[in-house]
Structure 1
Amino acid sequence: MLDKLVASEVIIFATPIWWGNHCSQIQQIIERLDHIHDDILAGKGSVLDGKTDGILITGDSDGTQHITGSITNFFGAIGIKTPPYTSLSVISDKHQKQERPSKQELMDEYEKQYSDTAEKMAKQLIGSARAG
């Protein structure tokens, strides 16, 4: 996994809201990358220094600011930069467990509600990665 991150210019963490937090898979990634923070504390550089990050969060309830802050804090601690406008929170009642929307219903809502923000996010990520 680390080799793929090192080879990437942009790293995007995507997670659903799970009891007000990010999912356990994101936590596993954070824990597996913790050795980079240990290296930094020991005076070594980060193999991910200068990479650009983005965050995508989905869910049916709020909690996005907490998750974004937590992940952004981790990224910053291991040398990954977070440009402005590079987090996207896709919150919808249609994500509730009891809901059963069709894929098309979800895609229509996403297009209507989030396409402009997603486009801005993509442009920011590309621009930041190119700027180095």
Structure 2
Amino acid sequence: MIKALTDYGVETDVVRAVGLTLKPGVETDMGAGDDWPQVHEKLLASQILIIASPTWLGRPSSVAQRVLEGINAMMSETDDEERPVAYNRVAGVLVTGNEDGAHHVISEISGALGDVGFTVPGQAWTYWHLGPGPGPDYLDDDRGHDWSASTGRAMAANLVHTARALASMPIPAPPS
């Protein structure tokens, strides 16, 4: 995914939420020891967001849910033109796991991002898994990589082109 984005000239930064202390709650800063404020600053400096999550029991991971809780705080934030701060930013979803449920995870995360104001273009997702039930991890099996890479390239193209379109013709503030 990173290569597909950099091929379009996009600068990337990976934030591994699993290595951060993200306190539960839907505010930008949940107090001492909360690492979300630094992630929030990176979000405000970016035009493209990709949330990656494994599929656990057919659902997004608890860490992905914590990220969405932090993003939820953006619903009450506006820019200098009174637009929600997520407006004119695009988002996509990358899912992996050795069980089914990828489409459910994609829809849960995409729906939450759309609620906050991110634009989620069509086919702004990719996933890898080998069907229902337990199985090998991505790095332990070569099957399915071509399809995941192909949908990942389509995802990157759709995210980049939508971000460029929004940059040239931004969504205005909602009517009051």
Q: For this structure pair, what is the TM-score category when the shorter chain's length is used for normalisation?
A: 0.7 to 0.9
**Structure 2 residue 57 is the aligned partner of structure 1 residue 19:** yes
Find the residue that maps to 2:99 and give its secondary structure.
coil
Alpha carbons of structure 1 residues 83 and 100: separation in structure 2 relative to 1, 3 Å:
closer
Deviation by residue 1:60-110 (Cα, 9 ceiling, x = unmatched) = 2221222112111111111101101111121126x946x478x4x53x435
- Separation of aligned partners in 1, 2:151 and 2:60: 21
**Structure 2 residue 167 is the aligned partner of structure 1 residue 129:** no
Deviation by residue 1:7-63 (Cα, 9 ceiling, x = unmatched) = 1111000000011110111111111222222458xxx64212121111001112221
- Separation of aligned partners in 2, 1:89 and 1:125: 16
Provide the residue aligned with 2:44 in structure 1: 6
Q: Which moved more, 1:19-28 or 1:113-122?
A: 113-122
Higher helix share: 1
Counterpart among 64, 76, 79 of residue 117 in structure 2? 79
Q: Give the number of aligned pairs.
A: 124
Tell me the TM-score normalized by structure 1: 0.80
Written as runs of structure 1 = structure 2, the 5 A alignment for 1:95-114 is 96=134, 99=136, 103=139, 105-106=140-141, 108-114=142-148
Counterpart among 47, 50, 53 of residue 85 in structure 2? 47
Alpha carbons of structure 1 residues 100 and 57: separation in structure 2 relative to 1, 3 Å:
closer
Computed over aligned residues only, the root mean square deviation of the Cα atoms, in angstroms, reads: 2.3
Unmatched segments (≥5 aa) in structure 2: 1-38, 167-176
Unmatched segments (≥5 aa) in structure 1: none
Tell me the TM-score normalized by structure 2: 0.62
- Separation of aligned partners in 2, 1:109 and 1:52: 30
Find the residue that maps to 2:59 and give its secondary structure.
coil
